Amino acid sequence: MDGLYKTKNHIDDVRESTAINAVSGNSGASQVDPTETADQTVIIPRGNDQFNEVIHQKGGGSMTQHSKPVVTVLTAPGEQEPPGMDAVRARADVRFACDEPTLRDTLPGTDIMMVTDFRTEALAAAWHTADKLQWIHATSAGVDALMFPDLIRGDVTVTNARGIFDRTIAEYVLCTILMFAKDFPNSIRLQMKHQWKHRDTERAEGKQVLVVGAGSIGRQIGRLVGAAGLKAHGIARKPRKEDPDFVAVHGNDDLYEQLGHADFVVIAAPLTPQTEGLFDEKAFKAMKNSARLINIGRGPIVKTDDLITALENGEIAGAGLDVFEEEPLAEDHPLWDMENVTMTAHMAGDFIGWKRALTDQFLENFDRWHKGDELFNLVDKELGYAGSK
């Protein structure tokens, strides 16, 4: 509960500061945060000028210098502080929140948010307290939980973690394709039973892979499976006959036609109102009986009950799932016991060191923000995702 501990300390400091302000006559736009040391008292006005810092030294005299911007880190309850935060503290005053009540206390005066909880609903609930917020950075590729009407309509900039997970997710997809082609799930079951059983398996080369969502993750998938000898096709808003990473990129309207040609269908799309429930009974009936579905996008893009029916009826041959409509998956969920299904716990892109990589990416963008340069990985708030490079 490291995040909770730090948040409580911060809230106590603010309350103490408010009491001192009341005694000294400071209030409203002049609210201050005092910090006592053996040598000096630092008073940082929280008015309109966020960069005006007055340092009163014992013995008289004062000087004005630039104060640090305020960064609030919103974590999941119980989540540990992200690695690399000392580098953030060197650049900014850092606060922590982990739910709606703590965010309501820390959001006033915040210039930047770093959101590590990709499922959070706290920001929408505490939004009315965001009086100075300029930029929100999500340490995830998907930003669906952050997209609520007031944020979409407002002028707060949103960025995401595009690029961090692209390669490792593509490796996961290629691994899953080869695992199905070489019948590894059945081999593992036979091994557990100590049974020696020779079988013929599929040749992966030349198989067609349909990647639904041709953004940065989808492109990396197309690149990697293409290098392995498979034929990658993409689905995107805008069709392209020529593309460096795909045999062809087809438009959204061509989805059902292309599903009928694919041996492997990979969901790499963001969760938006347009993609929620996209893979339903109609989509599964459009797929080959021999096709496998791989979902590394977002769970709600697939209607789970329709998927189970399609698997049980032999409408598709299998599914490799890393994301689910409800997470974590209930222990008694029927997907656990299906022999033509492989599952992982929303970890397709999580490599050793990924959390520090996310902080480093935030710092790179923070330095751009501080210099007034354009940020990278800008999210189109209307579309709900960052455009591909």
Domain boundaries, the chain: 2-65, 70-164+353-386, 166-343
The whole-number pLDDT of residue 67 equals 86
Instruction: Indicate if the pLDDT at residue 52 is higher than 80.
Output: no
Q: How far apart are CA 211 and CA 222, in angstroms?
A: 7
Q: What is the pLDDT of residues 300-338, one digit of tens each?
A: 999 999 999 999 999 999 999 999 999 999 999 999 999
Q: pLDDT tens digits for 152-202? A: 999 999 999 999 999 999 999 999 999 999 999 999 999 999 999 999 999
Residue 367 CB-density burial (10 A; 0-12 exposed, 13-18 middle, 19+ buried)? exposed
Residue 298: active-site member: yes
Range 166-343 has CATH code 1.20.210.10: no
Architecture of domain 70-164+353-386: 3-Layer(aba) Sandwich (3.40)
Give the HSE-up count for residue 267: Cα atoms under 13 Å, Cβ half-sphere.
28
Catalytic option among 327, 356, 364, 370: 327
Nearest Cα to Cα of residue 154 among 372, 374, 382: 382
In the sheet that 112-115 helps form, which strands lie side by side, from edge to edge? 93-97, 70-74, 112-115, 135-138, 157-159
Which residues, including other chains, have CB under 8 Å from residue 101's CB and lie 6 or more apart? none
Of the listed 95, 137, 298, 315, which one is catalytic? 298
Does residue 346 have an active-site annotation? yes
Structure tokens belonging to residue 42: 């630092």
Same fold, 70-164+353-386 and 166-343: yes
Contact of 237 with 218, CB cutoff 8 Å:
no
Q: Where are the alpha helices (DSSP H) in the chain?
A: 2-24, 85-89, 100-106, 122-126, 149-153, 166-181, 184-192, 216-227, 255-259, 281-286, 304-312, 354-371
Q: Give 108's pLDDT tier (boundaries 50, 70, 90).
A: very high
